[in-house]
Structure 1
Amino acid sequence: MAVFYRIALRSSIYSYRSMSMFPQHYADPFIKREMEDLNKSELTKFYHIPIRAALNNSSDTVFNDEIKLKMLNYITKNGNRVLARGLLSRTLEIIKRAQTERMHLCPEDKQKVNTNAEMILIDAVENSRPLLQLTSIKRGGVNYQVPVPVTTKRSYFLAMKWLLDAAFEKDHKVCLPERLAWEILDAAHGQGRVIKKKDDVHKQCESNRAYAHYRWS
């Protein structure tokens, strides 16, 4: 009987870990930028606590950004990450050149032109994030398009997906980094096909707001 109890207890622990190789009492890894905010007294409690290994993409460099890393993951096809990194780097370079050229053409607006390509990418993704989306809910044998809020994780996914889809839909005679760069620049300035698509989704949710109560029924 004791043997079956140990087996059941072990299986329940493994299922609770969600297939993690580290036990639950292991602490999450820290990056240096986070540890700078902690004082010495707060760090002493981690002296005797085991810490999980950091992920391969974890870095304490100032050039590391979560949005840029997700965009890199979405560009990657068939595991060719080297090619995806080169395409994204080329895209950021084109954005930097375009903004620098614009800054030199308009010296009076020099302070207003943002030449940081990574910040422009972040602004484009933030401007493209939808707040609502339509989902099909069946009530009384009829499917209704009900507007529901979009979670933060899905809103970032949709924004980056729309940017990449808009770049792939453009003229294929132009290389992908250039197409993606212009879509990012348009979205960062609140215009372009991605912003129009987001506005269309919001308009559809507004027109179907009469069915919003089906979300809780």
Structure 2
Amino acid sequence: MEWYYKRTSWLGLDGEEKQLIYKLVNFRMKEGKKTRVRAIFHETLHKLARTDRDAIKLISEALENVKPICEVAKVRIVGNIYDVPRVVARDKQQNLVVHWILDAAKKRRTKYSSRLEECLSAKIMDAYRKRGIARKKREVLYALASTNRSYAHFRWW
């Protein structure tokens, strides 16, 4: 199984897609059990391959649909704390979206007590269709940044 992961992870992928796959695997890894997480990711790819699209491209587009562009940071000015909107760096965008997708899959797993592969593929398909918990987190973050845009002049970094 590991040879399949190595072969498919390098064929026809650009640097950003490779980085997203590595982050999906490494963020889920617990106690150094990377082979177990790779097996889960492999099964997720098989579930997503049942659609008409390429599974890796589908994952990439799904994560692109959920990626946040802006966030809020707490800034203290003369004793008051303001939520100041700011632009998110590309690496942090990827980290946030991977964490949101994995957390949503974990919540679905505890709620419905099904396998992680099924939950992860369902959450990736939800993100591809622009719905689900991860997309809702992004919309809440955008709403918060929009309501606090009057404090944008406090952003000096």
TM range, smaller chain:
0.7 to 0.9
**1:31-73 per-position Cα deviation (integer Å, ceiling 9, x unaligned):** xxxxxxxxxxxxxxxxxxxxxxxxxx8x993166222122111
Residue type at the aligned position of 1:156: Q
Question: 1:135: Cα distance to partner?
Answer: 0.7
Q: Tell me the residue number matched to 2:58.
A: 120
Residue type at the aligned position of 1:165: D
Q: Which has the higher contact order (CA 8 A, sep 6+)?
A: 2
CA distance in 2, matches of 1:202, 1:215: 17
Q: How do residues 86-125 of structure 1 correspond to structure 2 at under 5 angstroms?
A: 86-97=39-50, 99=51, 114-125=52-63
Q: Tell me the residue number matched to 1:137.
A: 75
Residue type at the aligned position of 1:202: Y
> Secondary structure of 1:130's match?
coil
**1:124-149 per-position Cα deviation (integer Å, ceiling 9, x unaligned):** 11111101111110001011111111
Q: Within the alignment, does 1:213 sit opposite 2:147 as a pair? A: no
Q: Tell me the residue number matched to 1:178.
A: 118
Partner residue of 2:38 out of 85, 88, 96: 85
Q: Within the alignment, does 1:188 sit opposite 2:137 as a pair? A: no
Shift of the 169–81 alpha-carbon distance from structure 1 to 2, 3 Å rule, reads: same
Q: Which runs of 4+ in 1 moved over 2 A?
A: 63-66
> Secondary structure of 1:178's match?
helix
TM superposition score normalised by structure 2: 0.86
Unaligned residue ranges in structure 1 (runs of 5+): 1-56, 100-113
Identity of aligned residues (%): 28
Aligned length: 145
Shift of the 167–60 alpha-carbon distance from structure 1 to 2, 3 Å rule, reads: closer
**1:159-190 per-position Cα deviation (integer Å, ceiling 9, x unaligned):** 01000000011143111110010000110121
Q: Tell me the residue number matched to 1:44.
A: none
CA distance in 1, matches of 2:109, 2:138: 22
Shift of the 90–60 alpha-carbon distance from structure 1 to 2, 3 Å rule, reads: closer
RMSD: 1.9
Residue type at the aligned position of 1:175: R
**1:5-50 per-position Cα deviation (integer Å, ceiling 9, x unaligned):** xxxxxxxxxxxxxxxxxxxxxxxxxxxxxxxxxxxxxxxxxxxxxx
Aligned partners of 2:73 and 2:83 also within 8 Å? yes
TM superposition score normalised by structure 1: 0.63
Structure exhibiting the larger radius of gyration computed from Cα positions: 1
CA distance in 2, matches of 1:122, 1:198: 17
Aligned partners of 2:104 and 2:123 also within 8 Å? yes
